[in-house]
Amino acid sequence: MNKDKIKQIVLDIIAEIAPDEVLTDVKPEIRLRDQLDLDSMDFLDIVMELRKQHGIDVPEGEYRELESLDSCANYLLPKFETGATA
Protein backbone atom coordinates (compact mmCIF):
# COMPACT_ATOMS: atom_id res chain seq x y z
CA MET A 1 0.00 0.00 0.00
CA ASN A 2 1.23 3.49 -0.80
CA LYS A 3 -0.13 7.02 -0.49
CA ASP A 4 -1.28 7.22 -4.10
CA LYS A 5 -3.30 4.02 -3.69
CA ILE A 6 -4.89 5.40 -0.52
CA LYS A 7 -5.81 8.64 -2.29
CA GLN A 8 -7.47 6.58 -5.02
CA ILE A 9 -9.38 4.55 -2.41
CA VAL A 10 -10.70 7.78 -0.87
CA LEU A 11 -11.64 9.14 -4.31
CA ASP A 12 -13.42 5.86 -5.14
CA ILE A 13 -15.42 6.13 -1.92
CA ILE A 14 -16.34 9.74 -2.70
CA ALA A 15 -17.43 8.66 -6.20
CA GLU A 16 -19.75 6.09 -4.60
CA ILE A 17 -21.37 8.47 -2.13
CA ALA A 18 -21.41 11.58 -4.36
CA PRO A 19 -21.65 10.27 -7.93
CA ASP A 20 -22.36 13.73 -9.38
CA GLU A 21 -19.02 15.15 -8.19
CA VAL A 22 -16.27 15.61 -10.77
CA LEU A 23 -13.14 14.19 -9.17
CA THR A 24 -10.61 14.59 -11.99
CA ASP A 25 -9.29 17.94 -10.76
CA VAL A 26 -9.23 17.35 -7.00
CA LYS A 27 -6.08 18.91 -5.58
CA PRO A 28 -4.50 16.69 -2.91
CA GLU A 29 -3.37 19.50 -0.61
CA ILE A 30 -6.70 21.40 -0.46
CA ARG A 31 -9.53 20.46 1.90
CA LEU A 32 -12.01 18.17 0.18
CA ARG A 33 -14.96 20.19 1.47
CA ASP A 34 -13.48 23.33 -0.11
CA GLN A 35 -13.32 21.62 -3.52
CA LEU A 36 -16.37 19.38 -3.52
CA ASP A 37 -19.98 19.74 -2.48
CA LEU A 38 -19.65 17.43 0.52
CA ASP A 39 -21.69 17.96 3.66
CA SER A 40 -21.15 16.45 7.10
CA MET A 41 -23.30 13.41 6.24
CA ASP A 42 -21.18 12.73 3.15
CA PHE A 43 -18.08 12.95 5.31
CA LEU A 44 -19.54 10.46 7.78
CA ASP A 45 -20.34 8.18 4.85
CA ILE A 46 -16.65 8.30 3.85
CA VAL A 47 -15.65 7.26 7.37
CA MET A 48 -18.25 4.48 7.39
CA GLU A 49 -17.12 3.17 4.00
CA LEU A 50 -13.50 3.09 5.18
CA ARG A 51 -14.66 0.88 8.02
CA LYS A 52 -16.95 -1.28 5.89
CA GLN A 53 -14.65 -1.77 2.90
CA HIS A 54 -11.25 -1.79 4.57
CA GLY A 55 -11.74 -2.40 8.30
CA ILE A 56 -10.29 1.02 9.13
CA ASP A 57 -11.85 2.71 12.13
CA VAL A 58 -11.46 6.48 12.39
CA PRO A 59 -12.33 7.82 15.85
CA GLU A 60 -14.45 10.97 15.84
CA GLY A 61 -11.64 12.97 17.42
CA GLU A 62 -9.45 12.21 14.42
CA TYR A 63 -11.87 13.14 11.62
CA ARG A 64 -9.85 16.30 10.94
CA GLU A 65 -7.03 14.04 9.74
CA LEU A 66 -9.18 13.33 6.66
CA GLU A 67 -9.61 16.91 5.46
CA SER A 68 -7.57 16.60 2.24
CA LEU A 69 -6.34 13.74 0.08
CA ASP A 70 -2.80 14.34 1.36
CA SER A 71 -3.87 14.27 5.00
CA CYS A 72 -5.99 11.16 4.32
CA ALA A 73 -2.97 9.39 2.85
CA ASN A 74 -0.68 10.43 5.71
CA TYR A 75 -3.20 9.37 8.36
CA LEU A 76 -4.41 6.15 6.73
CA LEU A 77 -1.09 4.73 5.46
CA PRO A 78 0.02 3.32 8.84
CA LYS A 79 -3.47 1.94 9.44
CA PHE A 80 -3.44 0.12 6.09
CA GLU A 81 0.11 -1.13 6.65
CA THR A 82 -0.60 -2.59 10.07
CA GLY A 83 -4.19 -3.57 9.41
CA ALA A 84 -5.07 -1.50 12.48
CA THR A 85 -8.77 -0.97 13.04
CA ALA A 86 -8.68 1.34 16.02
- Which CATH number characterizes residue 29's domain? 1.10.1200.10
22-57 tens-digit pLDDT: 999 999 999 999 999 999 999 999 999 999 999 999
Range of the domain at 40: 3-82
pLDDT at residue 84, as a whole number: 53
Q: Distance between CA atoms of 39 and 53, rounded to whole angstroms?
A: 21
Q: Which residues contact 19 (CB under 8 A, 6 or more apart)?
A: none
Query: How many domains in the chain?
Result: 1
pTM: 0.91
Q: Which long-range contacts (CB under 8 A, 24 or more apart) does 46-50 make?
A: 46/10, 46/13, 46/14, 46/17, 49/13, 49/16, 49/17, 50/13, 50/76
